[in-house]
Amino acid sequence: MGLFPGLPDADRAPVIDTVAVELFGVPSLLAGQRRVAVVGATLQELSVSLAAVCPALLGKVIDPDTGWLLGGYTFVLDERFTTDRRAPIAPTSAVLLVSTVAGG
């Protein structure tokens, strides 16, 4: 039983902890910070949330239409490079946003 029993179930969102996304290179410079706290249960949700917190990323790193990463960028989730939008995020996940152009 919740604190507000009258609230419809649809309004009860699962509790999602804040995840700190670490930004590197161009994303970091655009956002003006290395870490941004956002919420999301999947990488797609994280990406949308990131765009809302750092609108400077829109059009340069995140596609304004889809809320997903533009070509040239990828997430690194717990040391694994991935562009799987549905990849689930745990509260302890380490999420980095970097250029796909690694090295050089």
Partner 1 sequence: MYGTHGRLLRVDLTTGTSGSEPIPEIVFERLLGGIGLASYLLLRCCPAGVEPLSPENPLVFATSPFVGTGITTASKLAVAAKSPQTGVIGDSLSSSYLAIALKRTGFDALVVTGRAPEPTLLVVDDDRVTFRPAGRLMGLDPAATAEAVRGDMGAGFRVAAIGVAGENGVRYAAISNDGRLAGRTGAGAVMGSKNLKAIAVRGSRGAPVADPKGLATAARGLAERSLGAGTAKYREVGTAANLAFFDRMGVLPTRNFQAGSFSGAEAISGETLLLDHHTDKHGCAACTVGCEHRYRTRDGGPATEARLEYETLFALGSLCGIADPNVVLRAAARCDALGIDAITTGATIAWAMECAERGVELGVPTADLPRFGDGASLLATIEAIGTRSGLGDLLAEGSRRASAIVGQGSESWAMHVKGLELPGYDPRKLQTLALGLAVGTRGACHNRSSAYEVDFSDRLDRRSEATARASAAATAEDQAAVLDSLTLCKFLRHALVDLHGESAALHTLVTGRPTSADDLRRAGERISNLKKLFNIRQGWTRAEDTLPPRVLTENDGTPTHLSRPWLDEMVDAYYGVRGWDEDGTIPAAHLERIGLADLVAEIQPVGTQRSTAPVAV
Q: Which residues contact 34 (CB under 8 A, 6 or more apart)?
A: 22, 23, 24, 28
CB 72 within 8 A of CB 101: yes
Residue 64 makes contact with partner 1 by CB under 8 A? no
**Alpha carbon distance 10, 13 (integer Å):** 7
- Contact at 8 Å (CB) between 89 and 14? no
Binding mask 18-57 for partner 1 (x = CB under 8 A): ----x-xxx-xx----x-----------------------
Stretch that binds partner 1, among 1-9, 10-18, 48-56, 92-100 (CB under 8 A): 92-100
Binder among 7, 66, 78, 81 for partner 1 (CB under 8 A): 81
Chain residues that interact with partner 1, rule: CB under 8 A:
22, 24-26, 28-29, 34, 60, 70-73, 76, 79-83, 96, 98-104
